[in-house]
Chain A
Amino acid sequence: MSDSPAIRVEGLTHSYGERVALDSVDFAVKRQGIFGFLGPNGGGKTTLFSILSTLLPIQRGCVSALGFDVGRQSREYRQQIGVAFQSPSLDRRLTVLENLVHQGELYGLTGQRLRDVADTLLQRFDLTDRATDIVDTLSGGLKRRVELAKCLMHRPALLLLDEPSTGLDPGARHDLWTHLERLRADEGVTVVLTTHLMEEAERCDELALLDLGRIVAQGSPLELRSTVPGECLTIVAERPEELGPRITAELQVDVQRIGESLRIQQANGEQLFEGLLQRYGDEIRSLSLGRPTLEDVFMLRTGRRFAEDLSA
């Protein structure tokens, strides 16, 4: 039974009136893994997250998780999951400890046992000296830590995190991932998260790329990247808006502009690398050659750029 997937979803469809947010989605999440949903905003991540966390009812399809039918046995399922929302679900007028105690009681913990669990988690997340601070006075990174501690009060077997890195600085982001990896290794917790950040997606064991309510690709980051042939060139230039069109015109290659840099995906990457250096060496600040990224996977599967969707 422990080989059976932590979550199995079949034919899940959800619509808001006319708008279809999820269109017949199928996937399975292995136990004790870190599973990520990567996609642009509006791709259906939030809807999927809300269904998995039981905030939205299942309209059509089948969702079973931890051996429960999520639609029918929501109470038993809720007891086993920990949910961390994008904006921390903390009561900002209560202290850190009060938040934890409150959460523990909602899940049936009382007395000495409740105090012990709270103390252990405060220690683990380095919050002991913050226990009596009002949540409102904490920084974003600290709040996220409290939120994570809060979700773990009842020892969930499945942890659901919605955009866990949003609003975190790189240090806090690193800490968060250290905690997630430790949870998975030490306690065998299954982690499911949504993200629109490539570097975060890279750290997942398995990924599903979600776009316009459909899963366009699924697999480990390595497997996904290996589906894109060739190499990728990244150019950082003084004037990318000028250089891009010139390269396209003169070398007949497709150039994409992402922020301040230019990207070219090409089968004969190394040859092109030499050529670019010779021709435009003076205008290029840096040039790198690498294997395709998840962004390239997304572009290959959807024909659109990920970053474009983000700003839209």
Chain B
Amino acid sequence: MSQSVEHQSDPVETGVASLGVDAVLRPSMWLTVWTLSRREIVRFLRQRSRLIGALATPIMFWVLFGAGLHESFQAPGWAAGEMSYREFFLPGITALILMFTAIFSAMSIIEDRHEGFLQGVLVSPASRPAIVLGKVLGGTFMAVVQALGFVMLGWLLAVGGVAEEMQISLSAGGVFGLIVFMTLLAFGLTALGFMLAWKLDSIQGFHAIMNLFLMPMWLLSGSFFPAAETGFLSVIMQLNPLTYGVAGIRQLLYTGSSEVLIQQANGGLASLTVCFGATAVFALVTFCGAVSSCRSARVR
């Protein structure tokens, strides 16, 4: 504190007064978070290719796999009624959109480092948790907006009778629950991406991680095929945090129907409470991991 007093009396600071800036500024954590997340969103919107990559690829998967696997798909025991593959696949694709957007956004930290922007932020008085939170919330926001758009599209198709085989039914409360749940999941995924990206030097390295780690994580989450009841796959799937993400989204898609289409009691899926709990823990753990990565020094 004594330093700031000296600075005010110092003739050095006279130039400051002419601009109307106090000698001592205090950046608040929320201002940092706000400015960094706003930047993420502006950047994302200016890069059309990212928008297409994050949204168009999953939608294409949905349409193509939905058509291709239509005949051979056998609905799992817990799915009541005639569940088509397209309907089964919808929550998985929603999770994929969340994952793509969230993790791509966090991976832009590699670009930030190469361009020098990151160094500029790191020498500013912004606290490390605020830097992580700004980056992660920006990515989370875009992921949720896009995934929600996709869910709405699926719902409109079902209601409009274009995709008659789908029985998805949303309620206002369900949409709210979905937004909260997807925010939690996207937050965890973006933080996971941040953690991975902090250690990586190149986008090529990211592709390796993507193929070896993230795609299997998604494939083994009950998104592409129903969870196995026994065997080593079922163990892996139970340990995979994304399994609870996909299961949570799946259950929230049917809040508007009078019938219980998903019979949770049958044990096919974890209950919504467990899904929320597991996803919250996932988000918390990855966020702490991201902050601790960010605290470790790296120059270039």
**Residues in A lying within 8 Å of B, measured CB to CB:** 1-2, 31-32, 46, 50, 53-57, 66-68, 75-76, 78-79, 81, 83, 85-94, 98, 101-103, 105-110, 113, 116-117, 120, 150, 154-155, 157, 186-189
A79-B19 in contact given A55-B297, A87-B116, A157-B12 (Cβ < 8 Å): no
Interface string of B1-38 (1 = CB under 8 A from A): 01100110011111110011100111110011011000
How many Å from the CB of B135 to the closest CB on chain A? 13
Docked CA distance A194–B75 (Å): 67
Docked CA distance A49–B181 (Å): 45
- The answer to whether A106 and B46 touch across the interface, beta carbons within 8 angstroms, is no
Closest 8 CB pairs of A and B: A89-B120, A108-B27, A188-B12, A187-B15, A108-B25, A105-B35, A89-B116, A78-B125
B211 at the interface (CB under 8 A from A): no
Name the contact of A79 in the complex, choosing from B12, B24, B120 (C-beta under 8 A): B24
- The answer to whether B119 and A55 touch across the interface, beta carbons within 8 angstroms, is yes
Docked CA distance A87–B123 (Å): 15
Residues of A within 8 A of B15 (CB): 155, 186-188
Docked CA distance A108–B125 (Å): 9
- The answer to whether B115 and A78 touch across the interface, beta carbons within 8 angstroms, is no
How many Å from the CB of B21 to the closest CB on chain A? 6
Docked CA distance A310–B108 (Å): 33
B43 at the interface (CB under 8 A from A): yes
Interface string of B28-64 (1 = CB under 8 A from A): 1001101100010011001100000000000000000
How many Å from the CB of B120 to the closest CB on chain A? 3
- The answer to whether A93 and B123 touch across the interface, beta carbons within 8 angstroms, is no
Docked CA distance A30–B64 (Å): 69
Residues of B within 8 A of A150 (CB): 120
A85-B120 in contact given A66-B3, A108-B28 (Cβ < 8 Å): yes
- The answer to whether A98 and B42 touch across the interface, beta carbons within 8 angstroms, is yes
How many Å from the CB of A69 to the closest CB on chain B? 11
Residues of B within 8 A of A83 (CB): 119-120, 123
Residues of B within 8 A of A1 (CB): 6
Closest to B2 in A: A67
Residues of B within 8 A of A102 (CB): 35, 39
B217 at the interface (CB under 8 A from A): no
- The answer to whether B116 and A108 touch across the interface, beta carbons within 8 angstroms, is no
How many Å from the CB of B298 to the closest CB on chain A? 8
B230 at the interface (CB under 8 A from A): no
Docked CA distance A113–B31 (Å): 15
Residues of A within 8 A of B163 (CB): none
- The answer to whether A105 and B32 touch across the interface, beta carbons within 8 angstroms, is yes
Closest to A189 in B: B12
Residues of B within 8 A of A57 (CB): 297
Interface string of B103-139 (1 = CB under 8 A from A): 0000000000001111111111111000000000000
A107-B11 in contact given A113-B21, A155-B21 (Cβ < 8 Å): no
Residues of B within 8 A of A186 (CB): 15
Within 8 A of A (CB), among B191-235: none
Closest to A46 in B: B299
How many Å from the CB of A138 to the closest CB on chain B? 14
How many Å from the CB of B46 to the closest CB on chain A? 5
Residues of B within 8 A of A92 (CB): 115
- The answer to whether A55 and B39 touch across the interface, beta carbons within 8 angstroms, is no
- The answer to whether B35 and A106 touch across the interface, beta carbons within 8 angstroms, is yes
- The answer to whether A113 and B20 touch across the interface, beta carbons within 8 angstroms, is yes
- The answer to whether A110 and B31 touch across the interface, beta carbons within 8 angstroms, is yes
Residues of B within 8 A of A105 (CB): 27, 31-32, 34-35
